[in-house]
Amino acid sequence: MGGTSGRKAQMKTSGLAAYVQTSEMVRAVLARDPGNAFGIWELGQSVRSYLDGVEARDERKEYEGSTMDSKEMLGWGIWPEASYFNHSCNPNVVKKRIARNLVFITTSVVQEGDELCIAYVDCDEIQTTEIDEFAAGEKRRELLRKWWFFGCACSRCSFVGGKMGEE
C-alpha cells in the first residue's frame, strides 16, 4: 500500500510541531520567503519613455491612457544577498531596479561596521500622505507589523516629534 501508517504520520507531525509551537513561530516560518522577497513592479515611467520613441500615431494612441503613472506588480523575486538587509525608516541604502537587475546604492557615507539598511515600506510616500511625522510613524509601524510581522524600533520611529514611539 502507498499510504503512511498512523504512527509514522504522527512522528512526522510531532517533528514539525517543534518548529511551530506558537503563533509567532508559525508566522516566522510562513514569512521566511515572502519576508525576504522583493516585488517586481512595472515602472510607469517606462511606458512614457517607450512612447517618446514611438513615431507611428496609431501605435502611440494604443498606449495613451494606459498605466503611464501607475505601477503593476509583475511578481516576486528572491535575491539571497539582498535578504541580509534589515529595515530602517532612515535607510542608508536604497534599492533600484535597472532593467533586470536589482541594484543597491548607499545614500550616505557608510563606515566599516555600520549596518546597511533599506526601507521595507515607502517612507517618503507615507510621509507625504500623513499630517505629521508621528502619524507617518504610526502608519509605517502598522504596515511593518501587518506585512513583515515586527514593530519598527529604528531611530526615526523610536523618537518622533519629541515623543517616544510605542511598540
- pTM: predicted TM-score of the whole model, two decimal places: 0.56
Q: What is the pLDDT of residue 34?
A: 62
Asked if the structure places residue 94 within a domain, the reply is: no
Q: What is the pLDDT of residue 154?
A: 87
**Residues lower than pLDDT 70 in the chain:** 1-20, 26-71, 73, 76, 78-79, 130, 159-167
Angle at 97 between CA 140 and CA 94, to 5 degrees: 45
Asked if the structure places residue 56 within a domain, the reply is: yes
Q: What is the pLDDT of residue 118?
A: 92
69 φ, ψ to 5°?
-105, -10
Q: What is the pLDDT of residue 15?
A: 59
Nearest to 17 by CA among 28, 26, 7: 26
Asked if the structure places residue 26 within a domain, the reply is: no
Asked if the structure places residue 72 within a domain, the reply is: yes
Contacts 24+ apart (CB under 8 A), 65-73: 67/42, 68/44, 69/44, 70/44, 71/41, 71/42, 71/43, 71/44, 72/41, 72/42, 73/39, 73/40, 73/41, 73/42
Domain boundaries, position 64 = 38-77
User: How many domains does the chain fold into?
Assistant: 1
pLDDT, tens digit (0-9, with 9 covering 90-100), for 96-141: 877 777 788 999 999 999 999 999 888 887 877 767 888 888 899 9
Asked if the structure places residue 129 within a domain, the reply is: no
Q: What is the pLDDT of residue 89?
A: 93
Asked if the structure places residue 139 within a domain, the reply is: no
Q: What is the pLDDT of residue 122?
A: 86
